[in-house]
Chain A
Amino acid sequence: MSKKIRVLVAKPGLDGHDRGALIIAQALRDHGMEVIYTGLRQSPAQIAQAAIQEDVDVVGLSSLSGAHMSLFPKVVDLLKEKNAGDIPVVGGGVIPAEDIPILEEKGVKKVFTPGTSTDVVASYIKQLVYGTELTEPPSKIAHIGIAVKSIENSLHFYHNVLGLKLLGMEEVPSEQVKVAFFGIGESSIELLEPLSDDSVIAKYIEKKGEGIHHIAFEVKELAERLKVYQEQQVPLIHETPKEGAHGSQIAFLHPKAANGVLFELCEHKKED
């Protein structure tokens, strides 16, 4: 499970225009982040101090008075001095385009110009915090789910004929299914047997017959990934992770997302 992102929204310098800062703060909260707003007139030292004390993941600076060139890099430098150079600093306000590369060169991670939508800012921050983990493609096929009328009757083929090792069998009452896992390389085959006529698997078999039901991918940061997919308007069956077998977190994408193929995302607890 990913932790909540913590953001410090700060107003360095003396200008009192905090409409933008307040809107960003509220929008980031609506995106599920914890936001600490410093209030007006904070010195770079106060901001760096607050960032460290509050243990934030990112610092957002807002300035509309033209003082950004001296104040923004100062916050970056002070964080470095205090061994907190890993906290990224982003900024916005009335900032001329030609200042942006200079600020970035001085260590400001990103400058948002007026008119940037709050969603863009929020996804940028998520990317920044979860880093490559979010954009990292699924690491492997976790399993392939096959709908069967009876696990009992299928055991012979998988176990005796193919010689795959049965890893386990369990009932998932919430889904009204019984599942059996056979190991195959780094993946597995999951047989799904309906326990009642109301089960999704029963309906699937009724409609399409026995056969491949879904393919599951192993991913990291499932909860955040779902939010990002949602923002990209990927059709989802589950918008938040559910409890899966062996204490894993799972979620299904809608088959509309992938030419009619049902994909599951799984995140297994990290070992150790």
Chain B
Amino acid sequence: MGKNEYEIQKEKWEQDVQKATNRFPERKETFTTSSEKEVDRLYIPEQEDANYVDKLGFPGQYPYTRGIQPTMYRSRFWTMRQYAGFGSAKETNNRFRYLLDQGQTGLSVAFDLPTQIGYDSDDMMSEGEVGKVGVAIDTLKDMEDLFDSIPLDKVSTSMTINAPASVLLCMYIAVGEKQGVSKEKLTGTIQNDILKEYIARGTYIYPPKPSMRLITNIFAYCQQYVPKFNTISISGYHIREAGSTAVQELAFTLANGMAYVDAALANDLEIDKFAPRLAFFFNAHNNFFEEIAKFRAARRIWAKIMKEHYGAKSEKSWKLRFHTQTGGSTLTAQQPDNNIVRVTMQALAAVLGGTQSLHTNSRDEALALPTEESARIALRTQQIIAHESGVADTIDPLGGSYYIEQLTDEMEAEVEKYLEKIKDLGGAVQAVEDGYMQREIHQAAYEAQKRIEKQEDIVVGMNKFQLEEEVNPDLLRVNERLEMDQKESLKTIKESRNQAEVTTCLDRLRRAAQTEHENLMPYILDAVKVYASIGEICNILRDEFGEYTG
């Protein structure tokens, strides 16, 4: 009798483990519990089970329910990637260099709101916002300061930037060139997920159609010239923060993902060329088991979509890789130290769900931007989970739990219902334009608020177990002088650059924008190199594309 599917898959996994451990050995030769019992790499059903192969599979194998790598955290922990950025480029640069000295290899840049919406610091719209929630970038000069003495071939940089993602990516490429690092070597991620901006996060500029064009321009350009860069991070995080349920978070994110794939295919890109560079970004909220089930279901659904719906051939296209951040909106302003406990459980859910990287929130985020001490505790939380809890010593430790598997199946079924509905509405772009997802989320958010007010849902310290007197913790303050300084330095750049070159580049960009099949990336790159500002570039495109008004 020949081998059954279960045995074939198991052998394939064992070979994959061999290959993987030859390249990167596991963290320890043997993993043991505190009672010195050996911990196996993977626990599987005692009896062979065809269902197992279909629904769970082995780690690193379709449909990836148990994780996308054959050894998961036994080889390498998830990447601990804390989002940071404040004030001026120079200040943030100091912070980055400190973090790199401490052994961190990945940077994650937070930009201020004017940068995220394509306004210069001296724009009237920017008043009061410069440098507040992230670093202010006006021209290439700021980007040069931000990465001063940081070799771009040695770090991977994640940039939370959407509507003007092409501008910031071009600035990053230009900084690399000045350092002598070619584009092919750059690694990192741009968020570049405009659909969720319309749905939940709000930093949109142009209407959906031209925005989708900019995104596919980036896909096409990077596939050719910046092949190691993740061109999009399709984000459910903000959808969840806006008040969606776990099912909605997953469903709307995957629907958006499909919209990007469709747009790329419509522009004649090859699926197995761009799909491996798609990344995802999810939230980790309070309901522990449901969150774990969500992550496991996400991998399984996406793998099926890529393989069966789109016919992708490469395994790399099937694998859903994701970053996780703990749920900011679950944190309370009351008794902020309690938030450390919430974050710990949320982070644990992300790890048990098999995340590739993780940001843990700081306890004071319901009050202000985190202080250095709060940010350190947040990072320590991840380190404690990684090094002390032992949860990373075996792969997918909850796999096979009746409860978890049932929840995972239910999550999948409900998400599929939503995907069907969105398909009927004409796809994610249409559903966003009609406000469908926005309404669904708002309804869920309002229901949740009512449950809290009626005390049907308990939030410890907020609607139960309150303290008479709240202690006010020390909070981070952004220097109010910064806005003036930033405006001043922008003025200096505008006076010292070659104005004729800037005008030429902006004119060329305008003409390219008017030509539908032109890829705008090379024009934007030329413009940033001659120190055209983000506001100038985005204003050209505002003229040509119009503005989205919600």
A interface residues, Cβ below 8 angstroms from B: 13-19, 22-23, 26-27, 39-41, 43, 65-67, 69-71, 94, 96-98, 113-115, 117-119
Contact = CB atoms under 8 A, between A and B. Distances in A.
B367 interface: yes
A71 B368 contact: no
What 8 A-B pairs have minimum CB-CB distances, sorted nearest first?
A16-B202, A70-B128, A14-B113, A67-B128, A114-B333, A66-B132, A115-B462, A117-B453
Given A14-B113, A14-B125, A117-B453, A94 B445 contact: no
A78 B197 CA distance: 30
Contacts of B124: 43
B445 A22 contact: yes
Given A67-B128, A113-B333, A114-B333, A18 B202 contact: yes
16 contacts: A13-B129, A14-B113, A14-B119, A14-B125, A19-B242, A19-B445, A23-B446, A26-B442, A40-B202, A65-B113, A65-B133, A66-B368, A96-B368, A98-B472, A115-B333, A115-B334
Contacts, number: 101
A41 B128 CA distance: 12
Nearest to B364: A96
Query: Which of B124, B242, B333 neighbours the largest number of chain A CB atoms within 10 Å of its CB?
Result: B333
A68 to B, nearest CB: 8
Nearest to A115: B462
Interface string B424-449: 00000000000000000010011001
Given A67-B127, A94-B367, 6 more contacts: A14-B117, A19-B442, A40-B202, A67-B129, A96-B367, A117-B452
Nearest to A71: B128
Contacts of A23: 243, 445-446, 449
B492 interface: no
Contacts of A18: 202, 242
Contacts of A65: 113, 129, 132-133
Given A65-B133, A115-B332, A94 B453 contact: no
Nearest to B114: A14
Interface of B: 113-114, 116-117, 119, 124-129, 132-133, 197, 200-203, 241-243, 329, 332-334, 365-369, 442, 445-446, 449, 452-453, 459, 462-463, 470, 472, 475, 478, 549-550
A39 B547 CA distance: 14
B325 to A, nearest CB: 15
Nearest to B367: A96
A117 B334 CA distance: 13
B484 to A, nearest CB: 12
A119 B116 CA distance: 35
Contacts of B334: 115
A43 B116 CA distance: 17
Nearest to A38: B550
Query: Which of A65, A98, A119 neighbours the largest number of chain B CB atoms within 10 Å of its CB?
Result: A65
A53 to B, nearest CB: 18
Query: Which of A17, A19, A43, A67 neighbours the largest number of chain B CB atoms within 10 Å of its CB?
Result: A19
Contacts of A117: 452-453, 463
A66 B449 contact: no
Contacts of B129: 13-15, 65, 67
A27 B126 CA distance: 30
A114 B129 CA distance: 21
Contacts of B117: 14, 41
Nearest to B472: A97
A22 B442 contact: yes
A67 B125 contact: no
A14 B121 CA distance: 12
Contacts of B133: 15, 65-66
Contact of A17 (B128, B202, B442): B202
Contacts of A39: 549-550
Nearest to B549: A39
B202 to A, nearest CB: 2
A96 B445 CA distance: 24
A94 B361 CA distance: 15
A22 B243 CA distance: 11
A31 to B, nearest CB: 12
Nearest to A23: B449
Given A26-B446, A67-B132, A16 B367 contact: no
Contact of A19 (B241, B333, B459): B241
A94 B475 contact: no
Contacts of B368: 66, 94, 96
A70 B127 contact: yes
B160 to A, nearest CB: 13
A17 B203 CA distance: 10
A263 B80 CA distance: 66
Nearest to B478: A66
A15 B202 contact: yes
B113 A19 contact: no
Contacts of A94: 365-368
Contacts of A66: 132-133, 368-369, 478
B128 A13 contact: yes
Contacts of A41: 117, 125, 202
A148 B116 CA distance: 77
B132 A19 contact: no
A14 B453 contact: no
Contacts of B472: 96-98
Nearest to A117: B453
Nearest to A64: B133
Contacts of A19: 241-243, 329, 442, 445
Contacts of A15: 113, 129, 133, 202
A65 B203 CA distance: 12
Nearest to B449: A23
A41 B465 CA distance: 37
Contact of A13 (B113, B478, B550): B113
Contacts of B365: 94
A197 to B, nearest CB: 43
A14 B333 CA distance: 22
Given A94-B368, A114-B332, A27 B449 contact: yes
A14 B442 contact: no
Contacts of A113: 333
B550 A14 contact: no
Contact of B197 (A16, A43, A118): A16
